[in-house]
């Protein structure tokens, strides 16, 4: 019984000391290691998330693969007033539909976009995404 109590206390101590906000995982994305440090726009987004007091940058960033293309996804509001998934390619361009509808506030990144050819297929992709490769989070998973 004493061993179980000591083990539980030890586990709680170890878990309470861990920093779960920055994931420094060994992942290669967009042709580079440590994308949170080596991809400029992603590094800036994470910096905003760590210093933001408005709540617009609370959320998770994870990596997905859509038809062979690496895409960063976040559920942060990014100043939009609501939470939706926002998609970025390796260069930081954000997803926009063919009809010009933006899936991310353009003032965050600017006017650079990438397009999805098959909206229906992308919708299916969105509904089946998983948090398999978390790049950064400032919320408990």
Instruction: Give tens-digit pLDDT for 72-103.
Output: 999 988 877 666 788 899 998 888 766 666 55
Reply yes or no on whether the pLDDT at 11 is more than 90.
Answer: no
The tens digit of pLDDT for each residue in 23-65 reads: 556 788 999 989 999 999 999 999 999 999 988 899 999 999 9
Select the more confidently predicted residue: 130 or 108.
130
Residue spans of the domains in the chain: they are 21-137
Which phi and psi angles does 39 have, rounded to 5°?
-110, 110
Instruction: Look up residue 93 and give its DSSP letter.
Output: P
User: To the nearest whole number, what is the mean pLDDT of the chain?
Assistant: 76
């Amino acid at each position: 019984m004493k061993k179980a109590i000591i083990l539980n206390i030890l586990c709680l101590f170890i878990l309470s000391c861990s920093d779960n906000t920055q994931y420094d995982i060994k992942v290669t994305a967009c042709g580079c290691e440590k994308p949170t440090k080596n991809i400029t726009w992603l590094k800036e987004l994470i910096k905003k998330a760590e210093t933001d007091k408005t709540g617009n940058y609370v959320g998770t960033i994870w990596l997905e693969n859509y038809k062979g293309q690496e895409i960063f996804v976040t559920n942060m509001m990014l100043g939009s007033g609501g939470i939706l998934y926002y998609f970025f390619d390796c260069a930081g361009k954000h997803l926009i539909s063919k009809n010009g509808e933006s899936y991310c506030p353009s003032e965050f990144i600017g006017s650079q976009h990438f397009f999805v050819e098959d909206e229906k297929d992308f919708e299916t992709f969105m509904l089946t995404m998983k948090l398999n490769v978390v790049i950064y989070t400032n919320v408990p998973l």
